[in-house]
């Protein structure tokens, strides 16, 4: 899924605003990493990000990238796709939500849907701190190919 320039700019501005509201810094390195995730148009792995970082941001070590990924995950700006050990930008720039992923076994395309309706069936007294909902199959393009 390719990002249009407007969508890309909106996501970057949204991330900057979420960081500001949370009292967190949207440092140049964090901004660059977030930009790479949004621009990728596909799930991206931490080491893939390391390879794409531009020299003007120094030569960060893997822990630096993982800290940035954790930072964005905690703010709800990106999601970790467990099955692929990769990250995707949250496709819902307007609010935090529970995410549900549909992952193609063939092309590894990931589609995100809002899974807040799953939160209605939580047992009484249970507090959800983290939820991962992933479905595996073939996307519409691979199914017809």
**Is residue 21 domain-shared with residue 84, that is, in the same domain?**
yes
Q: Is 68 exposed, middle or buried (0-12, 13-18, 19+ CB in 10 A)?
A: buried
pLDDT, residue 69, reads 97
- Under the banding of pLDDT at 50, 70 and 90, the label for residue 122 is confident
Q: Is 127 exposed, middle or buried (0-12, 13-18, 19+ CB in 10 A)?
A: exposed
**Is residue 67 domain-shared with residue 25, that is, in the same domain?**
yes
Is 94 contained in some domain? no
Region 125-132: mean pLDDT is 79
How many other β-carbons are positioned within 10 Å of the β-carbon of residue 26? Answer: 18
How many domains are contained in the chain?
2
Mean pLDDT value across the chain: 84
**Is residue 20 domain-shared with residue 61, that is, in the same domain?**
yes
Task: Judge whether 38 and 89 are in contact, CB under 8 Å.
Answer: yes
Q: Which phi and psi angles does 65 have, rounded to 5°?
A: -65, -45
The string of pLDDT tens digits covering residues 47-104 is: 999 988 877 766 788 899 999 999 999 898 999 998 899 999 987 654 556 788 899 9
Q: What global pTM score does this model have?
A: 0.78
Proportion of the chain above pLDDT 70, given as a percent: 84
Region 124-136: mean pLDDT is 83
pLDDT, residue 97, reads 64
Domain that holds residue 55: 5-89
Is 62 contained in some domain? yes
Measured CA distances, 46 to 28, 86, 87, 137 (Å): 17, 7, 8, 24
Which of 89, 111, 128 terminates a domain? The answer is 89
């Amino acid at each position: 899924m390719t990002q249009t320039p407007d969508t890309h700019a909106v996501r970057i501005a949204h991330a900057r605003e979420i960081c500001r509201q949370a009292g967190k810094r949207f440092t140049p390195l964090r901004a660059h990493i977030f930009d790479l995730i949004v621009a990728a148009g596909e799930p991206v792995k931490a080491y893939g990000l390391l390879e794409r970082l531009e020299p003007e941001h120094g030569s960060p070590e893997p822990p630096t990238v993982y800290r940035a990924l954790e930072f964005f995950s905690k703010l709800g700006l990106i999601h970790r796709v467990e099955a692929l050990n990769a990250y995707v930008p949250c496709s819902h720039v307007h609010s935090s939500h529970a995410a549900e992923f549909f992952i193609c076994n063939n092309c590894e395309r990931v589609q995100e849907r809002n899974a807040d309706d799953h939160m209605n069936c939580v047992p009484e007294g249970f507090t959800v701190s983290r939820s991962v909902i992933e479905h595996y199959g073939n996307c519409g393009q691979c199914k017809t190919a």
